[in-house]
Amino acid sequence: MTAMPDWTWLGSLLDFCAVYYTTQLVRCAAFSFVLVGFVMLLRKKFFAERTFLKGMLWALFLVIPFLGRLKLFYENEAVFKATWRITAATTSWLWADRIYMAGILIAVICIFGKRLRLRKTVAKMESVMFENIRIYITDMNVTPFTVGLLKPKIVLPKIMVDNYNGMELKAIIQHEQTHIRLGHLWYGFAWDILRCILWINPFLTIFQKTFRADMEDICDRVCIQNSGKTAHEYGMVLLKSLKLLRSGMEDVPPAVTYAGEKDYTEMKRRMEEIAGFRPYRKKLCVCMVFSVFLLIMIALVAVHNHSYMRCNESHDIMVGKYGVKNEIVSCDIEELSEMISYDDEFVYVEREAFDDFLCQNNVEGDICIVFGGFYKLPGLGGAAEICYYERNSKDALVQIPYERMKENWYIKLFKML
């Protein structure tokens, strides 16, 4: 009979991934709770009348997914005391890590599954050309929306196409094109990713409507200024949609990007924003966007420089007994490094000093030396080189050859995680 392959390594690797990534993402989620409150406070107290600045505040969330490996979780006393229970839980409770990973999978299926179904639905729709722009027509009474990232498709309800004149349709299409040009589709995609990986923070879903409303307000302002129309004329085009579309839109696919006015309150708020339109200076807005982008890049570099790498070199040295019952004799790096050193081929042991060390610690039997290697996070995941010490050598400096683990494909995969 052919022996069955041993797949236990795969289960162990998946379990480690669950612990490793849950530990990081739960920390990120903790930061996201604070940032949600901070952003909402700034929006309400300081930037209530600053449409562009309100929208730019959401860019701060781009840094959140990269905070899980910060060194301050281990090296800053205050942060360590505040978070050590979380770290202890995620590194000890495998069942909780598995639940967290399952939550991410469910969120991905729910959120991005709707996106995929919507794309398939749009692909089957009738399309027409309007001023060299392909428009997809739907029989559903929904507000216009755009779907897709690399090849965005603009969708308009048939009732709107039949009842709007050319200028009104052009204004609606320009609005959707502005969303595309400003990158709002990508922002929405990034926000959905954030909702998936940090699903334990419900505020990311609760305030999704606020996030989208801010993007909508920015788009309205850009459209008004670029169209050459007055705010009143632009607003009247939007108001006309209320007479054409049904007020009940609960059946609209949630993945519809920036579908907009789903109720009277939202339309009222949006019309108030439009009514308060004042021309803005494009150069100033471009400078603000560039400044925010630069700040985010600086923040990401700072986070990278103050975080542990995916694979961190270890300089630890341990001496242990191996056999029926493995036992650590000593892991005093400072003491052992005076007797033991190593390079890429050999471990060098000062025999006399090391033998005295073994006698002082009453160590008998077979001895192994564990050294070097790497770790993923302090106390979480890693691997080390190993060699075996024989006491019958007469050399003052014992050279012990060893096989480096870097050639092992499993270790290479482990480092990449």
pLDDT at position 387, please? 87
The encoded tokens of residue 219 equal 């788009």
pLDDT at position 277, please? 77
Going from N- to C-terminal start, the domains of the chain cover 10-305, 312-416
Q: To the nearest 10°, the Cα dihedral for 7, 12, 15, 21?
A: -110
What is the Cα–Cα distance from 362 to 370, expressed in whole angstroms? 19
**What is the H or E stretch that residue 375 is in?**
strand 367-377
pLDDT at position 143, please? 81
pLDDT at position 407, please? 66
Q: State the greatest distance between any 2 C-alpha atoms of the chain, in Å, as a whole number.
A: 99
Tens of pLDDT along the chain (417 residues) come to 444 455 676 788 888 899 999 999 999 999 999 999 999 999 888 888 888 888 999 999 999 999 999 999 999 899 888 888 899 999 889 999 999 999 999 999 999 999 999 999 998 898 888 888 899 998 887 788 899 888 899 998 888 888 888 888 888 889 899 999 999 999 999 999 999 999 999 999 999 989 998 998 899 898 888 877 788 888 787 777 766 665 444 444 444 434 434 556 677 777 777 877 788 888 888 898 899 999 999 999 999 999 999 889 888 888 888 875 677 877 777 888 889 998 888 999 998 888 888 888 888 888 888 988 888 898 888 888 888 888 888 888 989 988 887 667 777 788 887
3-state secondary structure of 112: helix
